[in-house]
A and B are shown apart, each in its own frame.
Chain A
Amino acid sequence: MDNIRWSYAINQWRTVETDLARLDQMESAFKTISVCGFEAIEITDVALGGHTIPAYFGSSAKFIEFLKGCGLSCVSSYFAGLDHCNPLAPADHERMAGSAGRAAELLAELGGSRLLARPCGPYWKEAPITGEKIGVLADCWNRVGAATKSAGVKTALHVDFLGGIRREDDIHKLLALTDPELVHVALDTAEFVIAGLDPVAFLKEHGARVAHVQFKDATTVDTFDDYARENAEMEYWPMPIITAGAERGIDRWYYEMGTPGGLVDFPEVTAALRNIGYTGWIVVESDQSPHVEESVMLNGWYKKKLLAEL
């Protein structure tokens, strides 16, 4: 597992506007992530992305200095919204490529190498997902991938259970229509499992396209098509609102690794990553955690256990 580095998503420290708004809050979050055994952070537009770092620190170099002072080494990756554009709108593609290129340059300065994006907006808004639409998406992401590649950053599409690209054959079609040198996949274990996808099988079939991995657990598969309901996901700031599952009492889809009843087989996924020779980041996430510090501690414990078993 020497080729794998472990990072932690910082977005769950930024669920309301007063979070991660002061340097002491950042210091506390970074030290917490460090002491739990992670060496980097993954940022998003609202969590240290965009203009945040220059505004707070003046330069990327000064931010990295601050990060290192807290025991972390770099920013592994950036989950970008690309100016809230719609990849299904060809008129937006140029703007998206420009935004991605700027984000990639910032990320490269921060030591990162993976720009993540959703391949398509929410399913409930964009359905039906047709072959023609997938063609438009492919054009978009080929363009974005080219824009980030010039900064040395790979574009990795993050498949999630609420998104338009969530069915296995749609993912296959999108991969077939995109340039494997430019467009990659970010495999998120919980999102795959909730969507009814098998991450291990996917790694066996498409391992060469996987350029980024996110680890979190889930306890429920969306067998009731909650993803398709109106307003299953709503735009909001700083985090989107997920209402999917609310009618049947699901307050939380995502859980810490090692949660009793968790559906992700992390030893199997990790073995599959090793078998395909995966090199790069595993980013652990705490989405929907009611208590982010507890979650990172639990995930840190599980990571140690996982590595010890391997």
Chain B
Amino acid sequence: MSTAESSGVGPEYQSRNIKWSYMDHWTMRSPSGWVTPQHGIKYADRFYRQLAGVGFQGVDPFEFRLLAQAQLFGSARKAEQFAQDRGIERFVNMFVAFYDDRTHLAETHDALLRNFENKVRAFEGITLDSFIVMPVSRYWLVEPVTDDKIKTMAECWSRIGRMLKTHGIKLSCHHEFYCALHSREEIDKFYAYADPEYVGLFIDTAQHEIVGIDSTELYLQYADRVTGFHFKDTHHTDTVDDYRTPPDPERAASTTSRWFWEMGTAEGLVDFPKLMRAIKSKGYTGWLTVEHDKADIGGANYAESTCRAKWYIDNVLSPIYP
């Protein structure tokens, strides 16, 4: 018997084209203050029950969160089994956190490759579709962003992507609005230089929207290279060059204290139905990921945001492309 079946709360939509995964930024209240699911087995238990209960089938962990869970449960595989016992099918993509992101400097590349080889070994007990990376540092640490620098970044990730592919893992580049590959021009140059066999594009709807990029148009241009999506919304575009704000534009920019929102808010700028129709038109099948990044700013909370987003999926997006 599969583990999802053993909990009785397994995936309900197995015959569908799309499965929904959830990127773990979760925080929750505890008697000792705010904690994440990694702070103890009882918190992990609540986290996975809540996600499976509303119908999420996969989880995308951060590398540092998965490492903590591996420590908590004994191994990454045991951590995944714990999630499966509560109705989660598997871990899908891992957002990689610990590496030298100065990929515009060629002298960092050898060490980076070794670093990623070590990551593969650390998580070899589980099957991950993608390692997701921000392909270069924050803009203010790299600028001016030149063609030569972009070419160097592309060489780095082509090399790492080739290595990952031998282990069955895709290399997925995720373009934060403040990273040094953020504009449409920079993204186009990067993918022109990068090897299409080894370097994939992971579209984050809110990050691109903040820059002023239409995620649907981006997807339609790069459909063959797109390895996944983060579905999240924003209420703002960056019209004042917030992307250059040191030290961290996600937390310290002038436009807003909260860039990211769940799907389904009235002020949301991303046209998700349009993107879903495009995804359908290309015959995309497999995992889509919901991400709520810093959803607890201003007294909000992950549980409420997640319920609202999943409601939006069930009532708006799934009818377009189940």
In the assembled complex, how far is the CB of residue B2 from the closest CB belonging to chain A, in whole angstroms? 13
Give the interface centre of A293, A296, A301, A309 by most chain B CB atoms within 10 Å.
Answer: A301
Q: Is A129's CB within 8 Å of the partner chain B? A: no
Q: Select B311's contact among A34, A290, A308, beta carbons within 8 Å.
A: A34
Q: Point out the residues of chain A lying under 8 angstroms from B314, CB to CB.
A: 35, 71
Whether the Cβ atoms of A305 and B9 lie closer than 8 Å is yes
What's the interface size class on B, roughly?
A: 20 to 34
A37 within 8 Å of B by Cβ? yes
Partner of A28, one of B9, B28, B304: B304
For the complex, what is the distance from the CA of A133 to the CA of B311, rounded to whole Å?
Answer: 49
Tell me if A239 is interfacial: C-beta within 8 Å of chain B: no
Contact among A28, A298, A309 with B8 in the assembled complex (CB-CB below 8 Å): A309
Q: SS class of chain B's interface: helix, strand, loop or mixed?
A: helix
Q: Judging by beta carbons under 8 Å apart, are A32 and B307 in contact?
A: yes
A302 to chain B, nearest CB (A): 8
Q: Is B135 an interface residue (CB 8 A)?
A: no
A221 is an interface residue with CB less than 8 A from chain B: no
Q: Is A304 an interface residue (CB 8 A)?
A: yes
Whether a CB of chain B sits under 8 angstroms from the CB of A151 is no
Per DSSP, chain A at the interface is: helix
Contact of A31 with B307 at beta-carbon distance under 8 Å, contacts A71-B315, A294-B28, A304-B8 already known: yes
Nearest-CB distance from A144 to chain B (Å)?
36
Chain B interface residues (CB < 8 Å from chain A): 7-9, 28-29, 42, 46, 49-50, 52-55, 86-87, 264, 266, 301, 303-304, 306-308, 310-311, 314-315
10 examples of A-B residue contacts, CB within 8 angstroms = A28-B304, A28-B307, A35-B310, A36-B53, A291-B28, A297-B307, A301-B53, A301-B86, A301-B87, A308-B9
Q: What 10 A-B pairs come out closest when comparing CB atoms? A: A308-B8, A301-B53, A293-B303, A297-B50, A32-B307, A301-B49, A300-B53, A31-B311, A35-B311, A293-B304
Residues of A within 8 A of B (CB): 24, 28, 31-32, 34-37, 70-71, 258, 260, 290-291, 293-294, 296-298, 300-302, 304-309
